[in-house]
Structure 1
C-alpha cells in the first residue's frame, strides 16, 4: 500500500487538467524556498519587501527545514537552522553563508530521501510527505508537469515499487539539461523584413518542409513564417514552454504597433524536434474554479448594480490563463479588495496587506475537509453495499453526504478502503481524512499554515512584480501554479457566501478563523460545518 500511495499522490501532483484543488500540490520544495528567502533579502534592501515580511518568511521556513532529511546530515541541518534563526540582510556574511550551505544541500537531495524510504517500515517517511517532497523538488528543478505525469504514469501502470520510483526520481534530479530544437509557427507576422533578418527565422515554405521531413501533418496549416529555436531545458515540454514565453514577448511588443495590423499571432501548436506530437501553444488552465456561479444559477445574472464580488472576479480573471504579471497583480487586487479593511491593525507580523492572505488561507483550510469528504462520498463504490452506502443513499445534499463519510471514518468503518474505492488517489484521501476526523484542530492548523505560506508567497510575488518591476522572481511561476487553485477555492466560498447567504467576505473569514480554533471542541462544531452553519 505504501508504494501505491506514493505513486497515486505523485500522479495527483503532476496532473494539470481536471485535478480538484484539494488533491494538488500546495507548496514548493525546501531548496527553492531557501533560494526564495535569499532573494527576498535582496528585495528588502531595495525596499520592495518589508523587513517584517522577510522575517515572517524566515521564521516559517525555519519550521520546515529541521525535519527535511534531504537537506543533509543533522550537522548540516543544524547549521541551516542556526543561520535561519537570525536576520539575513543583504549583503552580509550570514547571507553569503546561507547561499553556500544551500549549494551543499542541493547535491544528493533526493538520494537522501531515497535512503530514508529504504529503511524498515516503521522508520520510513510518511507516504504523503515523501510524495510531496519528490514532486515539489522535480517541479522546482524545471521539469514540466506533463513530462513528469507521463513518467510516473508509466511506472504506475507496471506497479513499480517505491525503490524504482525513487531511483527514477534521483536520475531525473542528477540528469543534465538537454538542448532541444523547437519550432514556433506564426499565423501572422507583421514587419516581415525585421523577422527575416533574425537568424532563427524560417519562411512559410521552410516551415512546411521542416515539418514534413519529421513526419508531422501540415493539413490546414498556412504559416506566415516561424522561428526555429535551440533551447536548453529539462524536457521537451519545458523547452516548448520557454519558446512559448519568447513568442508571448513578441505578441506583447507587437501590441504597441501603430495602426491595425493584428500584431504577432502564433499558431495553435509548437513542435519539438524528435518529440512525436505537437504541443499546444495555449497552456492549460491554472485550475482556479468558482463553481458556485454555475451551481447556484448565477452565471448570467449580471444586471443591476455591480457588487464587490463582480469587481473581484473581473480583477482575478487573468488568473487561469493570463500572463504572469497581470495574473499576479489582478488576483492580489481581488483578494485585497475582499479581505482587507482600513481598520485592520498594522502590526509587524501582518505588515502591509498580509492579513488578507491569512484570512483567505483560513477560508481555504475550512473548505478542504468538506471538499474531500464530498468527493469520497461520490466515489464510494463497494461491490457489496455497506452501512455507509445505505447512509449515503438516504442523504439529500452534499453536507449530509460529507457528514456521513466523516461519521464512518470516525467509527472505524472504513479501515479497508481498498474494498470500497477503485482509485488509489481516493484511498490516499481516505487516510488523510481519517487523520483530520480523528484530530481536526491540529490537522487543520497544519494545513492552514501551508495555505498561509502559499498566500503570503503570492503577496510577496505581487510586490516584486508591481513595486520591483521584475518578472524574474525565482518562485514567480511556482507561486502562481500553487496559488491559483487555492485562490479559486477561496473565491468560490466567498462568492457563495455573499450571493447565497448574504455573508460578507470579512464575516466569512472571521467565521473561518473561529472554526479553526473551535472545531472538535465544546461547541460540537465538526469539519463539515466550519463555514456553513447548521440551521
Structure 2
C-alpha cells in the first residue's frame, strides 16, 4: 500500500512525472506533457515575428502569443528574479516587430537566460521543505527544457528510469539535468540501410554511400549482428546531436526526404525503401526506423463499435478523422496540416468574429482547449478507479465494483478524495505516477474553477501553437525547426483526446461539435457552483 505522506513523496512525485513525460507510448494523454519550456516559447515568439513580417502569421496572433508569454514567465524561476526578468518583462510588454531594436534585444536576452536556466531551478529544488516549487511544476519545467534542447525522449526515459530505480533524490535528478544541459551536442555516425535502391548509379555517386557488402562490413566492425541483413546499400552520415536516438532521428528525416523524392520518379515501383533498423556508432542496439506513435488516440471508435463502420452515411466527424490520421505517425508537415484541418472543420463557424482575441480560426483552438480541459478530471479519476486495488475490498472498492459506467466509477473516486480518504494503489510500476495523479485531482476537486481555468490556459496555448504551425507549414512552406516538432509532440495526444470526445458525443448523443464546445465552455463557468455541476459531468448532458 502506497503512503501519500512518506518521507520521499516529493522525490518520487518528481521522478514519476518525469517518467510520464519521457514515455511516449502507453502513457495516457492526461499524464503527458502539455507545453514547451519557456526558452523555446521565447524562441518561438522571435520566429513568429519573422513570419508575421512575411504575412504568414497575423500581427494579432503574434501579439496574443506575446501577451500569453508575459503570464508564463511570471512564475518561471529559471528566468531570474531581478535584471533578467525585468528586461524580459519590459520587452514582452511592447510589439516585437522584425526587424526592430526590441526584437534584437530579446534575442540577446534569450541567450543570457539559457546559461543558468536549469541551475536556477536546481537551486530552488534544493531548498528546505516548504520553500521548494511544487513537484508537478518542477518536473514539467525540467522535462520540457531537456526535450526542447533536442534530447530524444527514449534517451531521457532511460536516464530518469535509472535514477528512479535507485530512488535518487530531487537534488540528484536536478544535478543530472544540469549536466545534460551543459553537455552540448556530440558527433555521431549513423548508418541508414536501404532494401530498395532505384537508380542505384545515382546513389553510388553520393559521398556517404556504402554498398551492400560495405554495410555488412561496417556492422561487423562496430560489433552489430549481421544475421538476416539483406540490403542493397546504405548511407553513412555524421551528424551533431544530443544523444544516439536524436542522431538517428535526424538521419531518419533525411531518408524520409529521399523516400518522398522517389515517389515522383516516373515508373516508380515502390521507390526507395529503408531497412527496418538504423545503427549508431558506439550505441549497442539497432534503432527502429519506424516513427513511434505520438499518442493521438480516439478510443471511442472501439468503445462504440465504429471502427469498421465506414459504409454508412458519412459525417463531418468521419471526414475530420481521415484528415487527422497523419497526426499520430505521419511526417511533420502533413500531421500538422491534417490535425488543424480536422479541428477547423469541426469547431469553426461563419459567425465567428473576424477580429478580437478570439478572431477567425483561433476560436476553434479555444473551443478544443475547453473540450479537452473538461475531459481531463474524468479521465484521471476513471484511471484511478481501475488502480484502486485493496487486498480486502473496502467501501470504495465495493462502490466501484457495483457501478457499471465509467462516469459512476469516477464519481465514486471523486467522493472518496473529497472526503479526504486515501486510495490503495498497489501497482508497483504505476504507483508513484498514480499518487501524483491523486495529488492533482485533490487540487481540482478542492478548487475546480481555478484548476480547470489554469488547464484551459495551457491547452489554449498548445492548440494555438498548432494553428500557427499549420500556417507556417501551408503559407510559409516550411517544415523545419524545433518549434514545429515540439508543437506536434505536445499537440498530438491532446488533439486525439479532443477528437475522442467529439466522436463520442456525435455517436452517442448525435451532438454537433460546436454544441459540445458550448457545453464545455458553460461547464467551465458553472463547475463547483450553485448548480452542483461536478468535474465528472462537465461534458455530460444535464438530466
* Residue number in structure 1 paired with 2:86: 78
Provide the secondary structure at the position in 2 that maps to 1:360: helix
Q: Distance in 2 between matches of 1:436 and 1:408?
A: 14
Aligned-residue Cα RMSD (Å) equals 1.2
Provide the secondary structure at the position in 1 that maps to 2:354: coil
Residue 206 (1) aligns with residue 217 (2): no
* Residue number in structure 2 paired with 1:458: 466
Q: Distance in 1 between matches of 2:376 and 2:118?
A: 29
Provide the secondary structure at the position in 2 that maps to 1:108: helix
Matching residue within 108, 121, 126 for 1:113 = 121
Matches within 5 A, 1:378-397: 378-397=386-405
* Residue number in structure 2 paired with 1:176: 184
Residue 162 (1) aligns with residue 174 (2): no
Provide the secondary structure at the position in 2 that maps to 1:70: helix
CA contact (8 A) 2:425 2:434 kept: no
Provide the secondary structure at the position in 1 that maps to 2:220: helix
TM-score (norm 2): 0.97
CA contact (8 A) 1:382 1:420 kept: no
* Residue number in structure 1 paired with 2:203: 195
Matching residue within 58, 61, 64 for 1:56 = 64
Q: Distance in 2 between matches of 1:86 and 1:193?
A: 56
User: Cα distance, 1:457 vs. partner?
Assistant: 0.1
Matching residue within 263, 274, 280 for 2:271 = 263
CA contact (8 A) 1:12 1:24 kept: yes
Residue 103 (1) aligns with residue 111 (2): yes
* Unpaired stretches in structure 1, ≥5 consecutive residues: none
CA contact (8 A) 1:114 1:167 kept: yes
Matching residue within 382, 402, 411 for 1:403 = 411
Residue 528 (1) aligns with residue 536 (2): yes
Q: Distance in 2 between matches of 1:383 and 1:124?
A: 35
Q: How many residues align?
A: 534
Provide the secondary structure at the position in 2 that maps to 1:475: helix
* Residue number in structure 2 paired with 1:37: 45
* Residue number in structure 2 paired with 1:186: 194
Matches within 5 A, 1:318-397: 318-397=326-405
Q: Distance in 2 between matches of 1:69 and 1:305?
A: 54
User: Cα distance, 1:533 vs. partner?
Assistant: 2.5
Q: Distance in 1 between matches of 2:400 and 2:269?
A: 59
Matches within 5 A, 1:115-514: 115-414=123-422, 423-514=431-522
Q: Distance in 2 between matches of 1:482 and 1:420?
A: 27
CA contact (8 A) 1:440 1:519 kept: yes
* Residue number in structure 1 paired with 2:16: 8
**Bigger shift: residues 182-191 or 66-75:** 66-75
CA contact (8 A) 1:511 1:530 kept: yes
Provide the secondary structure at the position in 2 that maps to 1:523: coil
CA contact (8 A) 2:148 2:482 kept: no
Q: Distance in 2 between matches of 1:293 and 1:451?
A: 24
* Residue number in structure 1 paired with 2:5: none
Provide the secondary structure at the position in 1 that maps to 2:536: coil
User: Cα distance, 1:390 vs. partner?
Assistant: 2.1
Q: Distance in 2 between matches of 1:340 and 1:473?
A: 28
Matching residue within 2, 18, 21 for 2:29 = 21
Provide the secondary structure at the position in 1 that maps to 2:371: helix
Task: Flag the 1:528–1:295 CA change in 2: closer, same or farther, 3 A.
Answer: same
Q: Distance in 2 between matches of 1:141 and 1:518?
A: 40
Q: 1:220-250, CA deviations, whole angstroms, 9 ceiling, x for partnerless residues? A: 2210100011111000000000000000010
Q: 1:72-98, CA deviations, whole angstroms, 9 ceiling, x for partnerless residues? A: 232211211111111111111111111
User: Cα distance, 1:534 vs. partner?
Assistant: 5.0
Q: 1:311-352, CA deviations, whole angstroms, 9 ceiling, x for partnerless residues? A: 101111111111110111111111000000111112221233
* Unpaired stretches in structure 2, ≥5 consecutive residues: 1-8
User: Cα distance, 1:303 vs. partner?
Assistant: 1.3
User: Cα distance, 1:419 vs. partner?
Assistant: 7.4
TM-score (norm 1): 0.98
User: Cα distance, 1:420 vs. partner?
Assistant: 9.1
Provide the secondary structure at the position in 2 that maps to 1:343: coil
User: Cα distance, 1:417 vs. partner?
Assistant: 6.1
User: Cα distance, 1:393 vs. partner?
Assistant: 1.9
